[in-house]
Amino acid sequence: MTYDGDFLGKLRQRDPAACTRFVFTFTPILEAKLRYKFRDHATVQDLVNETFLRVLVQIDKNAIRDPAQFGSFVRGVCENVAREFIRREYSTSSWPDGFEPPDRVLAIDELVADRELKELLRSELRKLTHEEEKLITDYFEGKDRRDLARKRGITRSGYNVKLHRALQHLIREFRKNQI
C-alpha cells in the first residue's frame, strides 16, 4: 500500500476515513510483530495503541519526511515502543521471592582446595627439568610465545612442541603421584 502527503494531511486533520484506514491497515501488522515478543494480549494491545499515539503525534508535528516510507516509519516506532517497554519492565523488576543472588566471595573450602592444588602443582613443577619448568611457568604467566621462541633461537612451532611435551610430562607426573 502506498501513502502520500495527502493521506498524511488527512490524518493530521483526523479525517475519519483516513484514521480508520490507518488503524485497520496497521493493527494486524503491529500485532503480529509484537506477538512475536510478548505473549500477553493486553500488553500487545497497549503497545499497539502507544504506537498509534506516537505516530499521530509525529504526524501533527509534520515530522515525517518521506510519506512513501510511512509503513516503515510506523513499524520503526513500534519497535522503539517495544524496546522501551522491555527496558522499563526489566529495570524495575525485582528478584523473585526467596531468591538470593549468589555470593561473589569464594567459600573457605574452595580457597583451601585452590591453595592446595597450586602447592601440589608447584611441587610437581620442581620435579621437572629446569627448561620444562621455565617453559610452563612462562606459559602460565601469559608471556608471548613468539618472543620466548626468539629468545631460545627456535621457531614458534618448535617452541609449541617443546611446551606441549613439557605439559604432557607434568600431567604424567601429576597423575602418577595421584594414584
117 domain residue, yes or no: no
Q: How far apart are CA 77 and CA 62, in angstroms?
A: 15
> Are both 131 and 87 inside the same structural domain?
no
> Are both 12 and 88 inside the same structural domain?
yes
> Are both 80 and 131 inside the same structural domain?
no
- Predicted TM-score (pTM) of this structure: 0.51
Domain ends where: 92, 116, 135? 92
Q: Which helix (H) or strand (E) covers residue 168, if one does?
A: helix 156-178
What's the CATH code of the domain at 58? 1.10.1740
Q: Tell me: the pLDDT tens digits for 51-88?
A: 999 999 999 998 888 888 999 999 999 999 999 998 88
- Which is nearest to 69 in space by CA: 137, 120, 18, 1? 1
What's the CATH code of the domain at 173? 1.10.10
102 domain residue, yes or no: no
Q: What is the band of 175 on the pLDDT scale with cuts at 50, 70, 90? A: confident
Domain ends where: 92, 111, 132? 92
146 domain residue, yes or no: yes
- Could you list the residue range(s) of the whole structural domain that residue 74 is in? 5-92
Per-residue pLDDT, 13: 93
Q: Give 66's Cβ-side CA count (13 Å radius).
A: 5
11 domain residue, yes or no: yes
Q: How far apart are CA 144 and CA 123, in angstroms?
A: 25
104 domain residue, yes or no: no
116 domain residue, yes or no: no
Domain tally, the chain = 2
Q: How is residue 159 written as a grid cell? A: 617452541
Q: How far apart are CA 51 and CA 55, in angstroms?
A: 6
Minimum mean pLDDT among 65-69, 87-91, 99-103, 121-125: which range? 99-103
> Are both 139 and 64 inside the same structural domain?
no
Residues of the chain above pLDDT 70, percent: 85
140 domain residue, yes or no: yes
Positive or negative torsion for Cα 143, 144, 145, 147:
negative
Long-range contacts of 157-160 (CB under 8 A, 24+ apart): none
Q: How far apart are CA 103 and CA 110, in angstroms?
A: 13
Per-residue pLDDT, 171: 83
Minimum mean pLDDT among 30-39, 54-63, 170-179: which range? 170-179
Per-residue pLDDT, 96: 62
Per-residue pLDDT, 52: 94
Domain ends where: 76, 92, 108? 92
